Amino acid sequence: MPFPVAADHRICFIGDSFVQGCGDPLCLGWAGRLAQHAAANGTALTYYNLGIRRNTSRDIAARWLQESLPRLPEESERRLVFSFGVNDTVIENGRRRVEEEESIANFRAILRKAAAQAPVLMVGPPPLPDDAQNINIAALDRQFAREAEALDIPYLSVFDPLLLDEHWRVEALSNDGAHPRKLGYDRLAQLVQQWDRWWFG
């Protein structure tokens, strides 16, 4: 028996290389896995991956609206998913690429404006196999969670579950030192899929 045809859902995943799925041999990443699962379960879905390597919150603030709106026609069921923050914490030339105060301001501006356009979810930054940088990522994750709560936007912190995941760190170390491979992205997709705020459960 065929699945019923649902409303036409358009969803944009916007963020960095983890959103893009760098390192995944299946070229899906966690966003592609979620879209694949939704489509397999009968959701009429058009999925756009707008992840860009090395993008910081500053980069995303400058581009997300122009890139997403043409992909989200008003007659469709529109959705926006954001995930970023790791690149903000990278140290280059002795300083963070984006200081924490600016990261938080960018987060607030992006999500406040996005929420006026469509339903929004935010997935927090994942850990790296770098204990020193993880201190800053974890701190930013906590700040983002507080800001999201103040904005009444659902926020999923994946930092602690992935830090404890047996595959995430091992795959990142054996790959490029940052991005996992298949099993790591499987786990991240699973965390979002099992989240009670995810739209296509």
Tens digit of each residue's pLDDT, the chain (201 residues): 333 444 689 999 999 999 999 999 999 999 999 999 999 999 999 999 999 999 999 999 999 999 999 999 988 999 999 999 999 999 999 999 999 999 999 999 999 999 999 999 999 999 999 999 999 999 999 999 999 999 999 999 999 999 999 999 999 999 999 999 999 999 999 999 999 999 998
The neighbouring-strand residues paired with 83 are: 15
- Give SS3 for 49: strand
d(CA 177, CA 170): 9
The tokens of 52 are what? Answer: 């860009």
Name the strand (E) or helix (H) holding 147.
helix 131-151
User: Within a 10 A sphere around the Cβ of 52, how many other Cβ atoms?
Assistant: 18
Closest CA to 128 of 64, 85, 76, 73: 85
49 phi, psi to nearest 5 deg: -100, 115
Q: Residue 178: helix, strand or coil by DSSP? A: coil
pTM for the full predicted model: 0.95
**CA–CA separation, 188 vs 191, rounded Å?**
5
